[in-house]
Amino acid sequence: MLDGDIRAYYDRGGERTRLDGSLELLRTRVLLERLLPPAPASVLDVGGAFGVYATWLAERGYDVKVVDPVPLHVESARANGIVAVEGDARSLPEGDESRHAVLLFGPLYHLLDRADRVRAYAEARRVVRPGGVVLGATISRWAPCYEVLLNGMAGSPEFVAAMRRSLDTGIRRDTLHLGDGFTTVYFHRPDELPGEVADAGLRLDDLYAVEGMAQWMPDLATCLSDPDGRALVLELAARTEREPSTLGATAHVLVAAHR
């Protein structure tokens, strides 16, 4: 059952535009182009929201289906021409070995219990064909502290307290009412990721820092709006994406594994 705080957050509809022009979007597309099997491979986008990645992949010839627990997301993805159904990452409405790839872009950071995250990975393993690809998005444990410093939240005692708790436990709750508050979420330490993948019966290929340190540039949006600046940021992010010391400093870590 979907956590009420998570449902309330996503019912706001913010995922419709959250990624517009972002480094997260640009870099995730780069990684998808490199890590997915070529089109017309079949991709299950679990937690695919409004279909930001699904639409982009479909335009490139992929056979894509979205599974998401939020009715608004499913309805909107369908309106965008994407096949979409309501569902839970821990119990996917898909047949065994039915897809070439599964994306877990969202579920892994809303499942607070390790057992549930392993179960989501195991479901992805069940659904992909032998040799199939599983890609999972996670949020770095240290992203909240950079976020507080960058976005001027240091003056909010409540937000700072939530940040301190999440650094200790990995878990953030009850910040939906804050102006820049996210919803219920788990922040991973990078060294946790290989074990979760292995316990689900998958083989880890690599971990990738999605944005790298560039995520915390104060003038990042301006830089990305300039073609030369955007090219440089993407180049440097790619050059450091597999550097272990960068995995803790990035906002998102992409897990690449296969069956």
pLDDT at 150: 81
- pTM of structure: 0.94
pLDDT at 177: 64
Number of H helices, E strands in the chain: 11, 9
pLDDT in tens, the chain (259 residues): 678 888 888 888 878 888 888 999 999 999 999 999 999 999 999 999 999 999 999 999 999 999 999 999 999 999 999 999 999 999 999 999 999 999 999 999 999 999 999 999 999 999 999 999 999 999 999 998 888 888 777 788 888 888 899 999 999 886 666 655 688 899 999 999 999 999 999 999 999 999 999 999 989 999 999 999 999 999 999 999 999 999 989 999 999 999 9
φ, ψ dihedrals at 128, nearest 5°: -80, 155
Which amino acid does the sequence have at 8?
Answer: A
pLDDT at 179: 58
Partners of residue 159 on adjacent β-strands? none
pLDDT at 89: 97
How far is Cα 197 from Cα 117, in angstroms, rounded to an integer? Answer: 9
Q: Give me the architecture of the 4-140+188-258 domain, per CATH.
A: 3-Layer(aba) Sandwich (3.40)
How far is Cα 176 from Cα 100, in angstroms, rounded to an integer? Answer: 36
φ, ψ dihedrals at 219, nearest 5°: -110, 30
Would you tell me the crossing angle of helices 23-35 and 52-59 to the nearest 10 degrees? 50
User: What are the domain boundaries of the chain?
Assistant: 4-140+188-258, 142-186
pLDDT at 257: 98
pLDDT at 70: 95
Q: Is 98 left (phi over 0), alpha (psi -120 to 50) or beta?
A: alpha
Strands 99-105, 42-46: parallel, antiparallel or unpaired by DSSP? Answer: parallel
pLDDT at 236: 96
Is the torsion defined by CA of 141, 163, 214, 210 positive or negative?
A: positive
